[in-house]
Chain A
């Protein structure tokens, strides 16, 4: 079963616009991560936010986390054609022992940025 559910499934915008993707999850988490996947390639880690954090920034990326609503959002500001990719949220549950590193991925949002 999928822990993270992204919304929307697909997003199409013009260059320069902002893109917002949302992720909801079901169980308690230790951290939430966002990854990008370009067509035909592996996933690349973008940003990690821990359960005790509410907001984090990295360049043009802004991630928020609301643990009470079990949701997160990824905002990409001033988007570029090169941002065209699939974006996945992944949740980590620090249950201890051998659980570290295990991430549960959502189905992803396909972002298309038109030049």
Chain B
């Protein structure tokens, strides 16, 4: 099993550009989520999904879009990149249900200049 796969690993964008961060899992997990990790801020939840066709906002959703058309994939779209979106982005998944552990990808390091 590959687990949770994130692509790309690194990305540099100019302000105003858009891009999609890819996340795929092969564990048939219902629950998928996106976090961003910033120094001194820990991990903050951006968006999450409890199943195909269902998404909801987390703590810091502004500037990001998500969709969940399949169980396996949960892409994160940056609509118009800003320097404040420079961060490391993690995708995580779990079977769902209260308190089940999250499985994380290895992250995408994004720099917006």
Contact = CB atoms under 8 A, between A and B. Distances in A.
B42 A105 contact: yes
A94 B98 contact: yes
A103 B101 CA distance: 9
Interface residues of A, number: 29
A51 to B, nearest CB: 9
B74 interface: no
B4 A42 contact: yes
Contacts of B58: 102
Contact of B90 (A42, A94, A98): A42
A85 B18 CA distance: 33
A59 interface: no
A107 B98 contact: no
Interface stretch (B61-69, B79-87, B102-110): B102-110
B105 A92 contact: no
Contact of A98 (B35, B50, B92, B106): B50
A41 B43 contact: no
Contact of A102 (B40, B42, B48, B105): B48
A31 interface: yes
A14 B96 CA distance: 39
Contact of B107 (A41, A88, A98, A99): A41
A108 B101 CA distance: 17
A106 B45 CA distance: 12
A64 to B, nearest CB: 17
A81 interface: no
Contacts of B41: 2, 107
B77 to A, nearest CB: 21
A101 interface: yes
A58 to B, nearest CB: 12
A45 B102 contact: yes
Contacts of A78: none
Pick from A43, A90, A94 the residue with the most CB of B within 10 Å. A43
B31 A108 contact: no
B2 interface: no
Contacts of A45: 101-103
